[in-house]
Amino acid sequence: MTRLMCRECGTATPASDPISRCRCGGLLTLESDAHLSLDRLTERQPSLWRYREAIPIEHDEHIVSFGEGYTPIVSGSLNGKPVLLKLEYLSPSGSFKDRGSTVLVSKLVEWSVEALVEDSSGNGGVSLATYGARAGLRCTVYVPEWSPSAKVLQMERVGARVVKIAGSRHDVEQAAREACESGDPTGNPFYAGHNWSPYFLEGTKTFAYEVAEQLDWKVPDVILFPVGNGSLLLGSYTGFGDLMNLGIVGRMPKLVGIQPEHCGPIVEAFEKGVDHADPVAAAPTVAKGTSIPDPPRGRWILEAVRRSGGMMMSVSENEIVEAMNTLHRGGYFIEPTSAVAVAGLKKYVAGFTEESILVPLTGRALS
Ligand SMILES: *Cc1c(COP(=O)(O)O)cnc(C)c1O
Ligand SMILES: [Zn+2]
């Protein structure tokens, strides 16, 4: 049976009940019977739904998809070192968030939810609004005032109602939750915050399956991720774990997380050697998608990074902009948040040379 388990109090809820977090306020994880199977891969479309057996949606007719996933991997080089780049910015709404949204919105349809509320500074909201539009859901996205205007425009053009909130990222999340508890103009909406939903991670884990399949069932030595809430890193940790359990790959790549110096709660905790991340006072950063001073899944990110033999690193605003400029001139039109990982790569290859490295280019520019 598929169940939603609370990480805090251990309460189990059947996955047929629409909930976004435990009654105690705790984060939920999913325990499911869905298991990766590779038997029929060759007959399937190049989309993340080719790993259908691993994705905990009961009925195919609930799937909400634009054919996302299976993004290209191209070889490039940086400072003379070869690197593999996975072009996540070619996703339907412009970022890897579509991996999470296709699964989360499919589950909302399975739960007969008609209206969703999300809080996001950018791509999470864009992505959920995009998939919400495809599913015919009413969508409201709460955004911080500093949310990039191109993202707000994209949300509105696909039909979402956007509510700007003054204050911290936490205030934005609170406003979204309160709207769900008290009812808002769209009726009784469901809180579908992508930072909390376990279904979102069920989508991002396909990143790992794809990397392995596209590299002929080998894995790179290292993968560098820009880290805000860690949804791509955590999904990958699960995904590579699944592949190891099946005996398909022999080892986990080192998962390396990069954060801006201006907002690096996980880097701070990693360097202190502690097992949880305290909230930080964030300074503004060009990498708005990583401006998460208090990531709900901080503890798991630290665990995943350490268990994989990886590390956390921080990069300055200058390094981020320089990395973005380099990539743009190479024809990769990525957004500043994506450049966080590339800036980290420049630092990483200065110290380590022999490893094979892959970097997801997570989101497209225009922000
Ligand atoms: C959300 C986002 C990130 C950060 O991802 P997390 O999985 O939340 O750490 C990085 N890059 C882009 C383009 C994003 O949209
Ligand atoms: Zn609980």
- Which ligand has an atom closest to residue 25 CA? 2
Whether 338 lines ligand 1, by a CB cut-off of 6 Å, is yes
Whether 255 lines ligand 1, by a CB cut-off of 6 Å, is no
Whether 227 lines ligand 1, by a CB cut-off of 6 Å, is yes
Model confidence pLDDT, tens digit, residues 2-53: 899 998 999 999 999 999 989 898 999 999 888 999 999 999 999 999 999 9
pLDDT confidence bin for 350, thresholds 50/70/90: confident
Whether 120 lines ligand 1, by a CB cut-off of 6 Å, is no
Give the Å distance between the CA of 158 and the centre of ligand 1.
21
- Quick one: angle between helices 298-307 and 265-272, nearest 10? 50
Q: What gap in Å lies between CA 326 and CA 209, rounded to an integer?
A: 29
Give the Å distance between the CA of 259 and the centre of ligand 1.
10
Q: Between β-strands 357-360 and 12-14, what pairing exists: parallel, antiparallel or unpaired?
A: unpaired
Whether 335 lines ligand 1, by a CB cut-off of 6 Å, is yes
Instruction: Identify which of 291, 362, 366 to mutate to test ligand 1's pocket (most ligand atoms within 8 A of the CB).
Output: 362
- What pLDDT, on the 0 to 100 scale, is given for residue 186? 62
Are the C-beta atoms of residues 270 and 311 closer than 8 Å to each other?
Answer: yes
**Amino acid (1-letter code) at residue 95:** S
pLDDT confidence bin for 167, thresholds 50/70/90: confident
- State yes or no: pLDDT of 351 exceeds 90: no
Give the Cβ contact number of residue 272 at 10 Å. 10
Whether 189 lines ligand 1, by a CB cut-off of 6 Å, is no
Model confidence pLDDT, tens digit, residues 294-349: 999 999 999 999 999 999 999 999 999 999 999 999 999 999 999 999 999 999 98
Instruction: Identify which of 85, 88, 97 to mutate to test ligand 1's pocket (most ligand atoms within 8 A of the CB).
Output: 97
- What pLDDT, on the 0 to 100 scale, is given for residue 121? 85
- Which ligand has an atom closest to residue 204 CA? 1
Q: Between β-strands 12-14 and 222-226, what pairing exists: parallel, antiparallel or unpaired?
A: unpaired
- pTM given for the model: 0.96
- What pLDDT, on the 0 to 100 scale, is given for residue 366? 77
Minimal CA–CA distance to 64: which of 121, 120, 103, 12?
103
Residue 135 tokens read as 């599913």
Whether 93 lines ligand 1, by a CB cut-off of 6 Å, is no
Instruction: Out of 154-158, 290-294, 324-328, pick the least confident.
Output: 290-294
Minimal CA–CA distance to 100: which of 198, 13, 213, 3?
198
Instruction: Decide: residue 159, CB within 10 A, 0-12 exposed, 13-18 middle, 19+ buried.
Output: middle
Residue closest by Cα to atom 15 of ligand 1: 123
Average pLDDT estimate for 163-173 = 92
Instruction: Identify which of 87, 201, 290, 338 to mutate to test ligand 1's pocket (most ligand atoms within 8 A of the CB).
Output: 290
Task: Tell me how long the chain is.
Answer: 367
Give the Å distance between the CA of 219 and the centre of ligand 2.
36
pLDDT confidence bin for 114, thresholds 50/70/90: very high
Residue 28 tokens read as 């939920």
